[in-house]
Structure 1
Amino acid sequence: MIKDLFNYIKDLYGSRKLIEKFSVNDFKARYAGSFLGILWAFIQPTVTILVYWFVFEVGLKSTPTGNIPFFLFLLTGIIVWFFFSESLVNGTNCFREYNYLVKKVTFNIKILPTVKIISSLYTHIFFIIFALVMVLLYGKPLTPYFLQIFYYLFCLIVFLTGLTWISASLQPFFTDILQFINVGMQVLFWGTPILWDVNIFPPELLWILKLNPLYYIVQGYRESFFGQGWFWEHPVMTAYFWGFSFILLFVGIWIYRRLRPHFADVL
């Protein structure tokens, strides 16, 4: 199984030029025909951020978390969620969306979930830069801790890769999977420390929330932006996250290999 994983990674690396080309085309095609075009990729998340900020800080008078203004606390967490949710939904539907490629024996369709992740990455990079600018405008210093944002971004991509291999492989046979994912994401959103501070929960309950892999990434993003610590200072959480992610990758590879020969029959 480990050999299969390395072969898949090698295969994706060998197709990196094709993945880049397809991801750019996918990003453009998503908004083709609309008046504002790709601006919608940035407008909708920005409006969502402003709505949450208005409701929780202006309306509910949410107080700063530590010395972090609520707007920055919200922004540095919710950009992770935007990338995760968009990649998962689009990646799950990739084989059905590109069914004409699935039926081509010569095309390497295993790159399609990765294409969807990279397509969503372009918007995510914009919001990382936007969050960094807002942190500086609020008078927070940029520290060397910010460099580990690349580590946590890599963590998120690996986690999404395993998850989308599973969901995309099942979707042609189980079309309701997107409905289950949408329901599950509603629960996951509130189970991830995006709008709430981890300190409000007692330790005996917090460990349950830490089972959510996104907990590790969201907290890591905030530590990177606000200079609060290095990822190796959380050895247990780091080991758990990577163990969980590798299990997803192995399961995703196994499911894909078993179901791939039947894709063309059901799409």
Structure 2
Amino acid sequence: MEKVSILWALVRRDYALQYAGSFLGISWMFLQNLVLISMYALVFLVLNLKTPSTQEDFTAYLLTGLLYWIPIQELLVRGTGILTDNRALLKRSSLGIDLFLWIPYVQFLIHSLITSIPVFIYLAYSGKLNLAGVFVGYLTLVFSGLYLMLLLHYLSRLNILLKDISPLIRLVSQLIFWGIPVLYYPTGLLKEWNGFNPFTIPLDVFRSSVISGFTPQFDWIQILPFLFSFFLVYLLAKRKFQSVILDHL
């Protein structure tokens, strides 16, 4: 319980540093997510991007895709730089590196929960929300974050060794975004390309859980090679990088 209390204090400290002097404070983060989702929804719904052969409504498809991806992208970018941003505190304290890595994960859970509320309200209003699957949907988000955390143990340490890889990670996050079916239906070559993305299957599981009548579009067993690879990267970070990182802080 003591570590949980310390972690929560670190989360609040990180929020305070991120939004110090901001007019809206921490509210800006949630407003930013809602505005971003609204902009994508407006543009793509006005363009009327629909596929007649699919039974699900494109609005539900689009909103759930954005709800899944936006917090994941924040976790990827923030998690990569969290150790560098807290370098001074890491040097002064004996809390250890791993505790700081959980700061962006806790923030990811908070952002996912708050951003999901208006999306799920809309889905319920339009009759597209699978109430029985909402809990499974939240579990999918929780485990998706843990899945990404395996990789962040490596990326956060690499960010210290190479000084700053944040611009590269932001670029990669855009490639990942367009490589998963968030704004389009996976068909033909696109579907084959989506199969090479480690977040395609978790997104498909999430949609299948929360959208009423949604038919899975991928074979979920395809995630196993990615899960195995992420776990190997995690072991590499823990066993090979630990002592080296402490010298570079």
Q: Which residue of 1 aligns with 2:112?
A: 124
Match of 1:253 among 228, 235, 239: 235
Pair 1:28–1:221, CA change in 2 (3 A)? farther
Q: Please give the alpha-carbon distance, in whole angstroms, between the structure 1 residues aligned to 2:224 and 2:155.
A: 19
Aligned-partner residue type, residue 211 of structure 1: F
Deviation per CA, 1:89-114: give whole Å up to 9, x if none: 11111111111232246222212122
Q: 1:56 aligns with which of 23, 27, 44?
A: 44
Relative distance call for 1:153 and 1:213 in structure 2 (3 A) is same
1:52–1:141 distance in 2 versus 1, CA, 3 Å: closer
Partner of 1:72: 60
Partner of 1:154: 142
Residue in structure 1 matched with residue 245 of structure 2 by the alignment:
263
1:254 Cα deviation (Å)? 2.1
For residues 42 and 136 of structure 2, the distance between their equivalents in structure 1, rounded to whole angstroms, comes to: 30
The answer to whether residue 205 in structure 2 is matched with residue 220 in structure 1 is yes
Would the alpha carbon gap of residues 112 and 250 (structure 1) be closer, same or farther in structure 2, given more than 3 Å must change? Answer: farther
| Structure 1, unpaired ranges of 5+ | 1-12
Q: Is the 8 A contact 2:84 2:160 kept in 1?
A: yes
Could you tell me which amino acid in structure 1 is paired with residue 134 of structure 2? F
Q: CA deviation at 1:64?
A: 6.7
Alpha-carbon distance in structure 2 between the residues aligned to 1:56 and 1:134:
17
Are residues 129 and 64 of structure 1, via their aligned partners in 2, closer, same or farther at CA, if it must alter by over 3 Å?
Answer: farther
Contact 1:192 1:212 (C-alpha < 8 Å) held by counterparts: yes
Distance 1:161 1:71, change over 3 A: same
Alignment TM-score, normalising by the size of structure 2? 0.87
CA contact (8 A) 1:101 1:109 kept: no
Distance 1:75 1:138 in 2: 12
Gaps of at least 5 residues in structure 2 are none
In structure 2, the residue matched to 1:195 is 183
Cα–Cα, structure 1 residues 262 and 104, in superposed 2: closer, same or farther, change >3 Å? farther
Letter in 1 for 2:49: S
TM-score normalised by structure 1 residue count = 0.81
Secondary structure of 1:46's counterpart equals helix
**Deviations 1:116-167 (CA, angstroms, capped at 9, x unpaired):** 1111221111112221111012133544233311331132122111111111
SS of equivalent to 1:37:
coil
Aligned AA (1:241) = I
Map residues 1-267 of structure 1 onto 2, 5 A cutoff: 15-58=3-46, 60-63=47-50, 66-104=54-92, 106-198=94-186, 201-202=187-188, 206-228=191-213, 236-237=219-220, 239-267=221-249
Whole-Å Cα distance in 2 between the matches of residues 19 and 57 of structure 1?
41
SS at 1:36's partner residue? coil
Which moves more between the two structures, 152-161 or 185-194? 152-161
Helix, strand or coil for the counterpart of 2:184? coil
CA distance in 2, matches of 1:171, 1:141: 40
SS at match of 2:26: helix
User: 1:63 is matched by which residue type in structure 2?
Assistant: K
The share of aligned pairs that are identical, in percent, is 25
SS in 1 for 2:61: helix
With over 3 angstroms needed to count, the CA separation of the structure-2 counterparts of 1:117 and 1:230, relative to structure 1, is farther
> What is the alpha-carbon distance in structure 1 between the residues aligned to residue 213 and residue 56 of structure 2?
11
How far 1:169 moved relative to its partner?
A: 0.8
